[in-house]
Amino acid sequence: MAILVFMDEVMRNHKKHPIVEGLAFYRTLKEKHRVLILCEDREKSDHWLRQQRINNFDDLVPLEDVPFPGDDPKLRHVEWIRSQGPVEYVVTSDPDLAIKLLVRGITTIMFMHPIYTNENFRPDGLKRGFKPWAEIEAELIRQQDEYDNDSRRDRL
Checking if the pLDDT of 122 tops 90, the result is no
What is the C-alpha to C-alpha distance for residues 4 and 29, in angstroms, rounded to an integer? 10
Is the separation of the CB atoms in 45 and 39 below 8 Å? Answer: yes
pLDDT attached to residue 149: 86
Checking if the pLDDT of 78 tops 90, the result is yes
What is the C-alpha to C-alpha distance for residues 48 and 96, in angstroms, rounded to an integer? 26
Strand pairing class (34-39; 108-110): unpaired
The confidence band for 124, taking pLDDT boundaries of 50, 70 and 90, is: low
Is the separation of the CB atoms in 132 and 119 below 8 Å? Answer: no
Greater confidence (4 vs 117) lies with 4
What type of residue is 52?
Q
Task: Please give the distance of CA 68 from its chain centroid, rounded to a whole number.
Answer: 23
Q: Single out the residue of 74, 65, 124, 114 nearest to residue 94, CA to CA.
A: 74
Is the separation of the CB atoms in 78 and 87 below 8 Å? Answer: yes
User: Could you report the per-residue pLDDT of 13-68, keeping only the tens digit for each?
Assistant: 888 889 999 999 999 999 999 999 999 999 999 999 999 999 888 889 999 888 88
3-state secondary structure of 118: coil
Which domains are seen in the chain, by residue range? 2-122 (3.40.50.1000), 123-156 (no CATH)
Is the separation of the CB atoms in 93 and 110 below 8 Å? Answer: yes
pLDDT attached to residue 120: 63
Q: Single out the residue of 74, 81, 122 nearest to residue 100, CA to CA.
A: 74
The confidence band for 127, taking pLDDT boundaries of 50, 70 and 90, is: low
Checking if the pLDDT of 69 tops 90, the result is no
Checking if the pLDDT of 119 tops 70, the result is no
Q: What is the pTM of this model?
A: 0.72
